[in-house]
Amino acid sequence: MRYLTSGESHGPQLTVIVEGVPANLEVKVEDINKEMFKRQGGYGRGRRMQIEKDTVEIVSGVRNGYTLGSPITMVVTNDDFTHWRKIMGRAPISDEERENMKRTITKPRPGHADLLGGMKYNHRDLRNVLERSSARETAARVAVGALCKVLLEQLDIEIYSRVVEIGGIKDKDFYDSETFKANLDRNDVRVIDDGIAQAMRDKIDEAKTDGDSIGGVVQVVVENMPVGVGSYVHYDRKLDGRIAQGVVSINAFKGVSFGEGFKAAEKPGSEIQDEILYNTELGYYRGSNHLGGLEGGMSNGMPIIVNGVMKPIPTLYKPLNSVDINTKEDFKATIERSDSCAVPAASIVCEHVVAFAIAKALLEEFQSNHIEQLKQQIIERRQLNIEF
């Protein structure tokens, strides 16, 4: 299973092609659009999300509500393109026209791809870099993840997410799964404790007033995963490695951990390893879940817990020092329309990126041409955990 996205932040559309989805999977576009809507929400978002109404159009690979087994193409229209039609159009324009539109960017933003991308691809107008490096591309990735969530639901695998921390203000480390699921999306910062939610809003407002931005930590949980998905045999088949690569590929994500994560370094092994237990109903299971459902690069049947760290967004309304690439003189960095905090939205993106990593691993583990074949293999693997 793989996908490829294309499109620029202010171009006409984002396009994604997904290959490897089994045939006969029932897909409703409204289920995908429900996930797209979640990505647009969250306290601290900028004006762009008031312009866009992200919905997906499926243009190939699905017929009469069911997948064909062929590549699935989805399109997300950028409504804001109407305001950028000339500057982001395909037809050539003169340097004078470009200058008159005040859209040429020569002052790179610290922490963004602007400067290095300009060097690498020899772009003197850094807009050519930021249009593709923008987090707008994650709308296409959420569409892919939403499709994967439809697949996972058919396999009785649940995946959900929350915000753990914003700007140093922390929610509780762990909740039981029922409390977690019962309180999803209860507020606009995606935490479970309402008192903590208000403190986070205040922190976001403070950053916005100061022309600054703040980051945080998000958490994704995958439940009812069959055992043994992934492998210890080769580094590139380890499930935690694949999930980690996906998470840190999200714009502004700078770290990932599993289960108790970096706290494991503070404790002895006797308090971190999860004891193996058995009963005839569940088969093998663990008495705790400090390791986050992963051992030796494989799923162990316990909930997979993924924590992702997002740095503050690099676009600041009170910009940092930079250098003009043409004159080499000191300037303040370019200001682009942006969010003061995108952590709640990023939790949705992370959830869908993990959904793809899980779906991809499952389809490699249980190679299947159609959904019925895949379901049967999953049933057999779950039975193996009892009978082994």
> Does the annotation place 110 within a ligand binding site?
no
> Does the annotation place 94 within a ligand binding site?
no
> Does the annotation place 39 within a ligand binding site?
yes
> Does the annotation place 314 within a ligand binding site?
yes
SS3 371: helix
> Does the annotation place 162 within a ligand binding site?
no
> Does the annotation place 332 within a ligand binding site?
no
> Does the annotation place 82 within a ligand binding site?
no
Q: Measured between alpha carbons, how far is 161 from 177 in angstroms, rounded to an integer?
A: 11
> Does the annotation place 45 within a ligand binding site?
yes
> Does the annotation place 33 within a ligand binding site?
no
> Does the annotation place 321 within a ligand binding site?
no
> Does the annotation place 133 within a ligand binding site?
yes
> Does the annotation place 296 within a ligand binding site?
yes
Q: Which residues are annotated as a binding site for FMN?
A: 132-134, 251-252, 296, 311-315, 337
Q: Which residues are annotated as a binding site for NADP(+)?
A: 39, 45
Q: Which residues are annotated as a binding site?
A: 39, 45, 132-134, 251-252, 296, 311-315, 337
